[in-house]
Amino acid sequence: MMENYDLLLAILFQLAQLLLVVLLAPLLTGWVNQCQAWLQNRSGAGVLQPYRVLRKLFHKDAVIAHNASWLFRVTPYIVFGCMWLAAAIIPIIAVDLPFSQAADVIALVGVFALARVFISLAAMDIGTAFGSLGARREMLVSFLAEPALLMVLFTASMISHSTQLPSIVDTLAHHQFVLYPSLAFAALAFVIVLLAENARIPVDNPATHLELTMIHEAMILEYSARHLALIEWASSLKLFAYISIGIALFVPHGIIEVGNWAGLPLAIVLLLLKLMLAGAGLAVFEIVSAKLRIFRAPEFLGTAFLLAVLGLLIHFLLGA
Amino acid sequence: MNAVGILPLDVAGWLVQFWIALGVAGLFLQRAPQLINNIVFPLSALTSLLLAATGLWALAMPTGVMVLPLGLPDLPFHLRLDSLSGFFLILLGAASLGVSLFSAGYFKTMAGSTLGLLCLEYHLFLIGMTLVLLADDAYMFMVAWETMALASYFLVTTDHAIPDIRKAGYLYLLIAHVGAIAILLSFGVMQGGNGIAAYTFDAMRAAQLDPFWSSAAFLLALFGFGAKAGVLPMHVWLPEAHPAAPSPVSALMSGVMLKTAIYGILRVTFDLLDTQLWWWGVLALGLGLLTAVFGVMFAAVQGDMKRLLAYSSIENIGLLLVGIGLTLIFHVYGKDALAALALTATLYHSLNHAMFKSLLFVGTGAILHATGERNMGRLGGLIRRMPWASGLMLVGVLAISGLPPLNGFVSEWLLLQAFLLSPGLPNSYINMLVPVAAAVIALAAALAAYVMVKFYGVIFLGQPREHALEHAHDAGIWERIGMGWLALACVLLGLAPVYVVGQLDHVSQMLLGAQLGNAAGNWIFLAPVDTERASYSPLYFMLAVLGVMLLTSVLVRRLYHGRVRRSDPWDCGFPAQTARMQDTAEGFGQPIRRIFEPFFKIERDVPSPFDTHPRYHGQSDDRLWYILYLPIKHLTEKFSSMAGLLQHGRIHLYLTYTFVTLIVLLVFV
Amino acid sequence: MQIPYTLQFINLLAALLLLIAFAMLAQRRILSLINLFAWQGALLALSTFIVAYSTNQHHLYYSAGLTLLLKVILLPYLLHRLIHRLNVRWDVETLINIPTTMLVGIALVIFSFNLAAPISQLAEGITRGLIGIALACVLLSLLMMLTRRKAVSQVVAFLSLENGLFFAATSATQGMPLVVELGIALDVLVATFIFGVFFFQIRETFDSLDITHMEKLKDD
Amino acid sequence: MIDLQLLALLLIPLLGGGLLAVFGSRKWAAELNSLMSFFTFAASVVLTVRVVDSGPQVAFNEQFFIDQFNVFLVALTAFVAFTTSLFSRPYMRIEQHHGKLTTGMLHLYYSMYQLFTFAMLVALTTNNMGIVWVAMEAATLTTVLLVSLYRTPASLEAAWKYFILCGVGIALALFGTILLYFAAERVLGQGGTALLWTHLNQVKGDLEPTVLKLAFIFLLVGYGTKIGLVPLHSWLPDAHAEGPTPVSAVLSGLLLNVALCAVVRSKVLVDGSLGTHFAGNLMMGFGLLSVLVASFSLFRQKDIKRMFAYSSIEHMGLITFAFGMGGPVATFAGMLHMTVHSLTKSAIFFAVGHAVQKVGTQQMDSIRGLLQVSPTVGWGLALGTFAILGMPPFGVFASEFLIITTAMHEYPWATPILLVSLGVAFAAIFGKIQPIVFGETTAKPLPHSPALIPVFAHLLLVLMLGLYMPPYLADWYRQAAALLG
């Protein structure tokens, strides 16, 4: 009876988080853009702008190239589904979510990879010069970013002797406070990976459609209306997911167990605070740094990879 | 022993005999090729199925042994079917089932005489591989091993009219033979006692070798089997032979034959040798990492789809070798639970690779039939002409890219888990090595995804690069069935890891005396060590993804009218775009070539800006060929020219030889 | 004790045999080469006869007669006719010049004596030390074979080699069993005939008997 | 009884030689040739059964001696001689058709063929070391005529070299025999018995070691020339390349074995007398050298028959090495290898013969695409090549496996040399044969249908020996091996 109640509660929490992330994600994107606008002292379109964009896109008629195949059409749903799921299994408010049993950090990376492969394939489907160019660049960036991310996660899971995000967070947040030098390296690497994977400056620029530089935008050139909407939504979900991974790994404090009603409000407030800070930080970083040439990007990500491995090695060296 | 008194080994024997019958039948049915296609190959596929079942049955059964009245007078053929052989029998049967079904349709167009021979060689190849798995003494092993090599050689050189194919066949059989010599030597080192009877595997198991000699045996075996598996630096034959062979044959070679080499390494290292040393593991690990990265790197820059797959096979062999190395390290340091984990990952991955690599190779066969083109630079847009093939290939591509919830991901997951659990080894250097190795594995996996996106995207997506592709036809019914089975196997292996791991426990029990087990205790969650550490449930995972997708699409359909308008793609203001302006295979590989420049021997001729008919040509060669193989060739030629000086044509000289020989002997004796 | 005359005589013959071998080694004219060969045969027959007499073994008489017939009369006659028909008189320049050949020859003699020394210790009766001489003759003829250019002189050398063997067979070891001797004789005869056939064939194909023409077959 | 059987064995070929000397130029000479060879084979089978069942035998007041060892060679010789005669029938017809041979030459060929068989059988069965010599010389003389059959400059040169070198070699062997006799007569006394192997074998302990050492050196150098041991091998490639193909087949298939048999006989005596492994070591040394040099020489060959001649040198070296090692397993392996090598090599020469007739040249660069023009010959050559290269499941691999594994156990230092040589030989021969078998060609079919029964009969036997050895055969070989020790 009791554990059934717990399970029910857990599932409730899981569903709550599903809903929360999918609704909150565009807001985060909006917030980042708004911060940038402020920093460039423009007035900005307001934090709700992404919602408006999505609404507009959903109401339009879809235009699809003549030779688009089924792959092209299902991709947005797959990508959206994957990102939603990824964002949903990262403990941001409460730890033991039932679904994170089914997919640990490696699976998480797998989810991202799945979405990436599909969107790259879809980009190549039409056969325009841009699509395949974007796909190639995307895969190029990712084949360096993905292992780096994996290494970052490994550092954490080495510390907590687990690849389950909940247990990682549990170890880092709820046991006695320890300073992990290895995590410092990991954090640095993670930031770079985050920038690269979410098509932010200096690797890519979400705001440009300049052929020579764009990566992510080049892939989705052929999408319109609801498909585009889903993809945009998915990318803001992705940003949300990455930031919450960062939170879970590096500042997990304040995340509660399921059923701890007393801590819940505080946890939510803390989460929002963290998100706002992270978004602002991202905005600042993007403002102050310049876009890299595309062939500098591998070196940039290479450093991330090396940093992550270094972190892991340091963990072995110092045992922390 | 079961009630009927029939053992798996007997059944395997019958199936082999049936295969022989089928092969000979093929030889005699040359007049009626359609019979070969529609009866012999399907029957052979059925046999494969039964063989796989037998292997599954044998996993749980006690080891069966048999001595045939064949072979050498004092060394008759010994057969043995234990869990290890059983597992690889499953692999062989499951893969060849799909390939044989595919072949039933694939060879339709082939001339009767050629087809008859090919049928015979094909079955001899299967038999050879089966007997390699069943052999229990050195002589039979060598006979089966070389029969396998010889049969596959003749299969590779089916289109021997083409000089390149002859060259490939030569290289292949030569390296295979050198490897076989090394294997023979390693058996010789392991022989128990003297006399020819010392060459049964049992005698070798009983033999007590000191570390030096057992290391010698291990190194020789690693070299010999590595030559067959395509481990660096003996890999050069692989990218030549695989494209040369007919696609079903490439599928068998890459999917199954390479695994027999893995089987050999496991058999020698864990079964025949009684002691292992820690540095063997480190060696295997390092070699495996090199091979993996090398393979995937070269796969990324290939323009020929079968060469690309061949290099990706090299990569996967590298991963398997890494797994073996890890197993060795754990086993030597007495962490047998972890060793079991690594071994399970290795076996699992070899099974997966057998499935998806066979699928992809037969897929290339279907493409070859539809278009007659192997060069990816002339393909494209086939997804619209060949819905079946492209759909089934997509499964293979996702699987080999290691994406959840398919099978490739499971074995990678297990392997990475093994790495994550490795700390706490007494040797700090190895402890340092482990994270680096894990990083390299992750890198290779990510690159593999890159390669596969290139593979699938360039071949199936985009616009057709040639007009001929406009009327490419889809795979026939037999081909579809064959590919369908392989794809299904990829999905099932991905969704039911718990069951598979449970079966693999028999093998690790036999080799290491330890099992992996499943901490989660239920069939949904795969949790190697304990649920707190790590758990994975592909079933839930897939349900969740599908659920979310359905939910989304339903919502979208509900809330918004979903009209779709077709129109031209956006040409960014340049209306004269043609299909040739798409990204080519070379173009897709270019960043990789740029990043790993030092590893390639690149020849490029770039047209001058004023060239009216500009043609770009770029080729990335294997440096090892120039560093390693050519010198050996030159050395041999040098020696042979020295030997040639003896035969001078002058009879006086010859008489002088006699004279001098006589005098020398008289003086010195 | 005082050595029996027969033995002294045989030793003398042996010495002469060796001498003739040297002479053949030095000889340039083919005709006189053949004559020397005939002389060698004669000495051989004589020594065989003496051995037969001293050890009175009858089959040795036969072999003595055979030798006389074959090596003194038949073969020289055949060879004479051959070179008359083929008119090859001279074997002018040898491959190695004569003095060097002689030096090498002497070295060979010393060598073979030393080699045979332990054996001759064993030999009792009349055969002491003859093995060494026989071996020397064999090696000298071998040396001669590999210094001559013309086919004919090579064949003569070959035949004198067989003489050396015969000497060893009869004098050193009191004669081989008759059947063997007969067989050997037959072979030698046939061989000579075949040689003869060859000479003609060789000459008509290469229009010369100079075997340095026959160096086409080689690994290149 | 045994006398009769032996008499039959020896007289049939002699008679055949006589008959063919008379009727050699008739139309049915070829058939007669095959017939006589068949009778010889039948007689050898009878003799074999007799000997294998009731042990070693002596005949004609001990002048002849047959034990399991030489009766095995007798059977092998008779069989291969028979199949070769079958092969030579169409082959020679085609040669005649191509105008390479006149009827007179064929006349000579057939009669010499029988006499050659006779000489070999005598050399094998005789008990008298002197007669062995005589028979070897006779075999040489007959084959010299056979090698020079075409009367082309090349064939003359080859025959001349063969004649001179083997003549000298044989002469040296005679000196060795004399020394043997010299040592023996001091134990066995004057007269006939002192050269009889059986007697020598009984008293080998008392024979004078120093003399026997010398004797063996001469015998080895002498008969070794005929075996084709490096560096005495120089005549062999020429003779094989320039003679008619059936002759090449019997030369490398049989004559080399016979010479080796003589060496092995004397080895038994010498090592028995010395009590050391002196002779064995010498044989092993020569064997290894031959294997090594021959396998490297293979690379440079352009003439196909020449190449396979070198491969014969290589295998003879291997066999010599095996007999040199001694011991039951190695000797067994040596005999097995003799068998499979004779069968395979002659089969290869048959196939090569027809291939060469198709294109009219022995230059490998100009022979292409056999599978296309005549699949049977092509497959014969391909399978034969793989067999001779020691590819399982053919019998050559079985014997090589036994030899190498024994060497690993007894003389580990020798194995690398052997294996390197085998690898090199594989690379060389395989690399040259592959384009010959595969690819396209413009060659025309032959006037007479090629004789392929011999080829595939041999290959089938070799295959069987690789997979399954009849117990009868195995026991027989074991007994023989036991005899040689």
For residue D13, whether the previous peptide bond is cis, meaning omega lies within 30 degrees of 0, is: no
pLDDT(A317) > 80: no
Portion of chain A with pLDDT greater than 90, in percent: 19
Residue D159 lies inside a defined structural domain of this protein:
no
pLDDT digits (tens, 9 = 90+) for A195-215: 888 888 888 877 777 766 778
Burial group, residue B624, by CB count within 10 angstroms (0-12, 13-18, 19+): middle
> What mean pLDDT comes out for the span A285-310?
86
Q: Do D130 and C183 touch (CB under 8 A)?
A: yes
- The encoded tokens of residue A136 equal 């190639």
Which residues, in sequence order, are CB contacts of A190 under 8 Å at separation 6+? A149, A152, A245, A246, A249, A250, A308
Token look-up 């592959």 returns: D434
Residues 6+ apart with CB under 8 A from C149: C91, C93, C94, C95, C210, C211, C212
Higher pLDDT, C67 or B141: B141
Assess contact for B506 and B59: CB atoms under 8 A. Answer: yes
**At residue A95, does pLDDT exceed 80?**
no
Chain B contact set for C143 (CB, 8 A): 659
Mean pLDDT of chain C: 82
Question: Does residue D9 sit in helix, strand or coil?
Answer: helix
Tell which residue, B333, B354, B224, has the closest CA to residue B279: B333
Distance from CA of A30 to the nearest CA of B (A): 22
- Nearest residue in chain C measured CA to CA from D129: C180
Mean pLDDT of C173-190: 78
CA D190 to chain B, closest CA, distance in angstroms equals: 28
Alpha carbon separation from B496 to A84, A164, D400 (Å, rounded): 25, 20, 48
Q: Tokens for B534, please give them.
A: 């790590």
| Sequence-distant (≥ 6) Cβ neighbours of residue A289 within 8 angstroms | A201, A202
Is the Cβ pair A67, B582 closer than 8 Å?
Answer: no
Structure pTM?
0.91
C-alpha dist (Å) from residue B648 to B501, B643, B657, D237: 67, 10, 11, 12
Contact by Cβ (8 Å): A293, A215:
no
Using an 8 Å CB-CB cutoff, list chain B residues near D220.
665
The stretch C111-139 carries a mean pLDDT of 78
Residue D179 included in any domain: no
Pick the closest to residue B492 from B460, B539, B530, B447 (CA basis).
Answer: B539
CB contact C220 to B (< 8 Å): yes
State yes or no: chains A and C have 3 or more CB pairs below 8 A.
no
Instruction: Look at residue D328 in the predicted model and tell me its pLDDT.
Output: 86
Contact B55, D451 (CB under 8 A): no
Q: What is chain B's Cα-based Rg?
A: 27
The domain in which residue D356 lies consists of 315-485
Distances from the Cα of D193 to the Cα of A9, D6, D18, angstroms = 111, 20, 31
- Indicate the residue of D160, D424, D474 with minimum beta-carbon distance to B636: D424
CA–chain centroid gap for C134, Å, is 10
| Touch of B by A (3+ CB pairs closer than 8 Å) | yes
Distance from CA of C2 to the nearest CA of D (A): 24
- Which residues form the domain of A286? 2-318
| Contacts B425 to A, Cβ<8 Å | none
CB contact under 8 A, D174 and C165: yes
Q: What is the mean pLDDT of residues A83-97?
A: 81
Of D213, D300, D408, the CB nearest to B188: D408
Q: For residues A229 and A50, is the Cβ–Cβ distance under 8 A? A: no
| Pick among B67, B194, B658 to test the D interface (most D CBs inside 10 A) | B658
In sequence order, the 6+-apart residues with CB closer than 8 A to the CB of A296 are none
B569 contact residues in A (CB cutoff 8 A) = 65-67, 126-128, 222
- D chain contacts of residue B145, beta-carbon cutoff 8 Å: 392
Q: Which residues of C touch B655 (CB under 8 A)?
A: 142, 145-146
pLDDT at C2 over 70: no
Whether A297 shows a pLDDT value over 80: the answer reads yes
* CB A315, CB A214: distance < 8 Å: no
D297–B658 CB contact, under 8 Å: no
> What distance in Å separates the CA atoms of residue A262 and residue D479, rounded to the nearest whole number?
96
For residue D238, the one-letter residue type is D
B interface mutation test: which of C146, C210, C216 has the most B CBs within 10 A?
C146
Interchain proximity C217–D242, CB inside 8 Å: yes
Burial C33-51 (b: 16+ CB within 10 A, else e): bbbbbbbbbbbbbbbbbbb
* Subunits adjacent to chain C (3 or more Cβ pairs under 8 Å): B, D
> Which residues 86-145 of chain B have a CB within 8 Å of chain A?
none
- Tell me which chain C residues have a C-beta less than 8 angstroms from the C-beta of B650: 212, 215
What is residue B607's predicted lDDT score, i.e. its pLDDT?
Answer: 81
In-domain check, residue D173 = no
Closest residue in B to C146 (Cα–Cα) = B652
Residues of D in contact with B169 (CB under 8 A): 434
DSSP, res B568: P
pLDDT at D245: 92
At residue B3, the pLDDT reads: 47
The burial of B564, by beta-carbon neighbours within 10 Å (0-12 exposed, 13-18 middle, 19 or more buried), is given as: middle
Q: Nearest-CA distance from B625 to chain D in Å? A: 17
Residue A113: its chain B contacts at CB < 8 A? 401-403, 446, 449
Q: Tokens 């989660």 appear where? A: B520
Query: Taking every pair of C-alpha atoms in chain D, what is the biggest distance, in angstroms?
Result: 69
Instruction: Let me know: does D153 contact D238? Beta carbons within 8 Å.
Output: no
pLDDT value for B1:
42
Number of domains in chain A: 1
**Gap from D161 CA to chain B (nearest CA, Å):** 6
- Gap between the Cα atoms of D145 and D139, Å rounded: 10
Q: A-chain residues within 8 Å CB-CB of B570? A: 128, 221-222
Q: What is the pLDDT of residue C199?
A: 82
List D66's β-bridge partners, or say none.
Answer: D57
* DSSP string for residues in D341-391: HHHHHHHHHHHHHHHHHHHT--BGGG---HHHH-HHHHHHHHHHHHHHTT-
Inter-chain CB proximity D168 and C142 less than 8 Å = yes
Burial class (CB in 10 A: 0-12, 13-18, 19+), A281: middle
Strands in B135-209 per DSSP E: none
**Which one has a higher pLDDT value, D114 or A182?**
D114
Phi, psi of D196, deg, nearest 5? -80, 125
Query: Which parts of chain B register pLDDT below 50?
Result: 1-3
Percent of all residues in chain A with a pLDDT value above 70, rounded to a whole number: 96
Query: Which positions ≥6 away from D197 have C-beta within 8 Å?
Result: D65, D127, D128, D129, D265, D269
What is the C-alpha separation between B318 and B291, in angstroms, rounded?
5
DSSP 8-class letter at D100: S
Coil, strand, or helix at residue A257?
coil
pLDDT score recorded for residue B538: 87
Please give the Cα distance from D180 to D273 (Å, whole number): 12
* Cross-chain CB nearest to C202 (options D131, D158, D160): D160
pLDDT along chain D (485 residues), means of 10: 86 91 87 93 92 86 87 93 92 88 90 93 91 91 90 89 90 90 81 82 86 91 92 91 92 91 91 88 94 92 92 95 90 93 94 87 85 86 93 90 88 90 93 87 70 88 90 87 81
Structurally, chain D folds into a number of domains equal to: 1
pLDDT at A172: 80
Per-residue model confidence (pLDDT) at position B422: 67
Looking at CA atoms only, how far is residue C116 from chain B in angstroms?
11
Give residue C3's pLDDT: 67
- AA letter at A40: Q
Contact C214 D190 (CB under 8 A): no
Chain D positions touching C142 (Cβ under 8 A) are 168
Interchain pair B663, C111: CB under 8 A: yes
Q: Which residue of B has its CA nearest to C149?
A: B652
d(CA A251, CA B493): 38
D4, with CB counted inside 10 A (0-12, 13-18, 19+), is exposed
Tell me if C184 and D301 make a contact (CB, 8 A cut-off): no
Inside any domain, residue D320: yes
pLDDT value of position C128: 61
